[in-house]
Amino acid sequence: MVEIIVDGEKFSVNEKGNLITELKKHNIEIPHFCYHEALGVSGNCRMCLIEVVGQKRPQIACDTPIKEGMEIKINSDLTRAVQRGILELEFINHPLDCPVCDQAGECDLQEYYMKFDKQDSQVSLADKVRKYKREDFGSGVIHDAERCVLCRRCVRFTQLCTNSYELAVGGRGEHSHIMLMNGKKIDNPYAGNIVDVCPVGAMTSADFRFKKRVWHLQKTPAICQGCERGCAIWVDSNKAKYQDSIIYRFRPRENSVNGYFICDYGRYSYKDEQIIKRDDSAKISALALDLRSNASKYDILVSSSLSIEEMSALKTLASKFNMGLYGFSDFRDESFQDEIGLKLRVPNKTANRIGLIKLGLDKNLDKKSSNLIIFHLGKDFEFASKFEFDNVIKIGSNQDADIVCASSYHRDGHTLNIDEKLRFSKGVFEPISPKICDIVSELMGQRVEFDINILKAFA
């Protein structure tokens, strides 16, 4: 760690780090487009130019080595002047279509303009270079060439992160544009991240386009339940007046497990996690009644999609009524594993296989009683057909369930990922359907309390 001076104030930073990232840790933002923590320095956009004391000319912060005692000025007149200059250049051919752009509200260019620029363009709309406004790049990525600031983040993502090399910069000067090779579309399981790395509205999501203005979205930190990696995500949801809450999208949340990215399977899994409006309370009461007299004829099967809290609640239930308790975690899909690239995806497509093992629930169903109650969160109940019982009661968060419960995104819960890291996912909004722990409480006739010490063993 060394000390540097920013606008007269001392800060201690890692000298091996990048100036932009190091200052971000102190909540100091240096505007930038092309630099990205996961993609490294490119030095092409010049948005990060700042005044460095002792240097004749402004320097790009992204590629200025940190030195003990160095002094920079990020709010000086000189820094402001170059920022305005760069922004003026960016807007020469910009279409100024923020009102219809999905990125508006989370666009770096828009933000910097409002912060530092606010000047009129010297180029009339009629004189601007026109480019493609809606090119389908494949894999849910739509490109608007007019909004592009040519920072090459998207290109570098396909080169450095997915090794798929679908994108490049074609042309030169004001005619430069992001292109596909011979029109060959983007084809990789992480394509959705291209929309996220683009600092402006030049890459938008075919899925999210024109669905919701971003400032109406409420963001909740959660964990993707799509596979055993347990990537950190933001769940963006909204509740319109007189309507139920809707999840609009999942986005990666910067985290040591997944870095800056998530896979497309996980990203679009939000579609299976919307509220299901069905009132199964009568069925729950009937089951509760039956358990009270005939519990021993039931077995319980827990899938590895449940949280540790839910699993241990079911353990309590099973021991109270002396029912057989079994686990199921065979959700393997070999094709889901990546050979190259980010390699986030783990073949087991549920979040808590390790949790299931650690709680001692990985017991295969051997004996057969006549009734089976299956608990499973997530999109399909297909595996349930494996079990030949006279009577199977499916309790889960999808339409196939006999009793619908709240999904994994509508309750708080812990899971253990493939590397045995404890992951905490926060409920996005209050569900309409009961949470599994509530159902268990009702079946038991008393509130199940979760013993927090169970988690301490995994932390």
Partner 1 sequence: MSFEFTKDELERLDDLRNKVDDDRALVLPALWILQRRQGFISSEDILYLEKTLGIRAIFFAEVMGFYSMFNESAKGKYELKFCKTITCKLRGSDEVIKAAEDLLGIKMGETTSDGLFSIGESECLGYCEKAPCMLCNLDQIGDLTKESITELIDRLRRENASR
| Footprint on this chain of partner 1 (rule: CB under 8 A) | 165-172, 179, 181-182
Cβ proximity to ligand FES, 112 vs 375, nearer residue? 112
Rounded Cα distance between 202 and 133, Å, is 9
Question: Minimum distance between the CB of residue 13 and ligand SF4, rounded to whole angstroms?
Answer: 27
Cβ-Cβ contacts under 8 Å for 190 (sequence gap 6 or more): 161, 162, 261, 262, 263, 264, 341, 342, 344
Q: Which of 1, 3, 43, 337 binds ligand FES (CB under 6 A)?
A: 43
Rounded Cα distance between 57 and 79, Å, is 10
Inter-CA distances, 128 with 90, 107, 245, Å: 12, 21, 42
- The structure tokens 């920013």 sit at 6
263 binds ligand SF4 (CB under 6 A): yes
Cβ proximity to ligand FES, 203 vs 224, nearer residue? 203
Rounded Cα distance between 155 and 269, Å, is 26
Query: Which of ligand FES, partner 1, ligand SF4, none sits in contact with 181, Cβ below 5 to 8 A by type?
Result: partner 1
Q: Which of 13, 60, 70, 87 binds ligand FES (CB under 6 A)?
A: 60
* Helix and strand counts by DSSP (H, E) for the chain: 11, 20
The arrangement of strands across the sheet holding 2-6 comes to 9-13, 2-6, 71-73, 49-52, 59-60
Query: Which of ligand FES, partner 1, ligand SF4, none sits in contact with 410, Cβ below 5 to 8 A by type?
Result: none
Structure-token pair, residue 163: 């090794």
Cβ proximity to ligand FES, 46 vs 143, nearer residue? 46
Neighbour-count burial of 335, counting CB atoms closer than 10 A to its CB (0-12 exposed, 13-18 middle, 19+ buried):
exposed
Q: Which of 6, 19, 39, 48 binds ligand FES (CB under 6 A)?
A: 48
Cβ proximity to ligand SF4, 167 vs 440, nearer residue? 167
Query: Which of ligand SF4, ligand FES, partner 1, none sits in contact with 142, Cβ below 5 to 8 A by type?
Result: none
Rounded Cα distance between 147 and 90, Å, is 9
Binding mask 294-323 for ligand SF4 (x = CB under 6 A): ------------------------------
Query: Which of ligand FES, ligand SF4, partner 1, none sits in contact with 32, Cβ below 5 to 8 A by type?
Result: ligand FES
Q: Which stretch binds ligand SF4 (CB under 6 A): 134-142, 143-151, 304-312, 314-322?
A: 143-151
Query: Across-strand partners of 235?
Result: 220, 250
Question: Minimum distance between the CB of residue 173 and partner 1, rounded to whole angstroms?
Answer: 8
State phi, psi for 404 to the nearest 5 degrees. -85, 130
Which residues from 192-251 bind ligand SF4, rule CB under 6 A? 197-200, 202-203, 224, 226-227, 229-231
36 binds ligand FES (CB under 6 A): no
Rounded Cα distance between 63 and 42, Å, is 8
Orientation of helix 281-294 relative to helix 436-444, angle to 10°: 40
- The structure tokens 């349930």 sit at 384
Query: Which of ligand FES, ligand SF4, partner 1, none sits in contact with 48, Cβ below 5 to 8 A by type?
Result: ligand FES
| SS3 at position 141 | strand
State phi, psi for 296 to the nearest 5 degrees. -65, -15
Cβ proximity to ligand SF4, 28 vs 168, nearer residue? 168
Angle at alpha carbon of residue 228, lines to 225 and 230, rounded to 5°: 55
46 binds ligand FES (CB under 6 A): yes
Question: Minimum distance between the CB of residue 266 and ligand SF4, rounded to whole angstroms?
Answer: 2
- The structure tokens 């002094």 sit at 71
Check: CB of residue 219 under 8 Å from CB of residue 345.
no
Q: Which of 19, 23, 62, 197 binds ligand FES (CB under 6 A)?
A: 62
Local structure of residue 440 (DSSP, 8 states): H
Residue nearest to ligand FES (CB): 62
Question: Minimum distance between the CB of residue 58 and partner 1, rounded to whole angstroms?
Answer: 25
Structure-token pair, residue 251: 């986005």
87 binds ligand SF4 (CB under 6 A): no
Query: Which of ligand SF4, ligand FES, partner 1, none sits in contact with 60, Cβ below 5 to 8 A by type?
Result: ligand FES
Size of the site for ligand SF4 (CB under 6 A): 27
Nearest to 110 by CA among 129, 135, 93, 91: 91
Query: Which of ligand SF4, ligand FES, partner 1, none sits in contact with 154, Cβ below 5 to 8 A by type?
Result: ligand SF4
Cβ-Cβ contacts under 8 Å for 443 (sequence gap 6 or more): 284, 287, 288, 291, 317
Q: Which of 152, 253, 315, 376 binds ligand SF4 (CB under 6 A)?
A: 152
Q: Which residues bind ligand SF4 (CB under 6 A)?
A: 148-154, 178, 197-200, 202-203, 224, 226-227, 229-231, 258, 262-263, 265-266, 344-345
Q: Which residues bind ligand FES (CB under 6 A)?
A: 32-35, 43-48, 60, 62
